[in-house]
Amino acid sequence: MRQDELKAPLGARHKRKRVGRGDSSGHGTYSGRGCKGQKSRSGGGVRLGFEGGQLPLIKRLPRKRGFTNIFKTEYNIVNVGKLGIFPASSEVNPETLLKAGLIRSVKQPVKLLGYGDIHQPLTVKAAKFSAAAEKKILAAGGGVQRT
């Protein structure tokens, strides 16, 4: 078989519909637009969301307020209480948190929050710490390093 012998499968190619070319074509007179009315005119039809003069849904609902900050930094959130799985005086960084299954990806920076208690001293490396989290880690005899 050669490239010039290839054919499209049956039904894959359709003839273009030529409207307004006489009644015998099957698409003459009204050209598939029906009789009269807004949708039969050239340029006719209504804009997106138009409901025939009724107050459109988009105007009936309370509008969105504010804006979305496209530069917002998404953080991996970890609570201090979850750090109890690590042995005492070990170093906790994004890689160890990923291995432990506490975060999903190391692409996003890690933020430590203060929910829960910590009893063993740990050296924690993260991008951000809440004031409560930092206080609890230091109170347990650990250390805090910002990356």
Residues 97 and 139 in one domain: yes
Residues 90 and 127 in one domain: yes
Return all residues near 104 (Cβ < 8 A) that are at least 6 apart: 76, 98
> What percentage of residues in the chain have a pLDDT greater than 70?
100
Residues 94 and 140 in one domain: yes
Number of domains the chain contains:
2
Residues 54 and 109 in one domain: no
Instruction: Kindly report the number of other CB atoms within 10 A of residue 40's CB atom.
Output: 14
Segment 80-104, tens digit of pLDDT = 999 999 999 999 999 999 999 999 9
How sure is the predictor about 75, in pLDDT bands with cuts at 50, 70 and 90?
very high
Residue 126 within any structural domain of the chain:
yes
Residue 2 within any structural domain of the chain:
no
Residue 8 within any structural domain of the chain:
no
Residues 56 and 95 in one domain: no
Residues 81 and 136 in one domain: yes
Residues 139 and 82 in one domain: yes
CATH number at residue 126: 3.100.10.10
Write out the residue range of the structural domain in which residue 88 sits.
76-146
Residues 88 and 61 in one domain: no
Q: Residue 1 pLDDT > 90, yes or no? A: no
Residue 89 within any structural domain of the chain:
yes
Residue 50 within any structural domain of the chain:
yes
Measure the CA–CA gap between 52 and 43, rounded to whole angstroms: 17
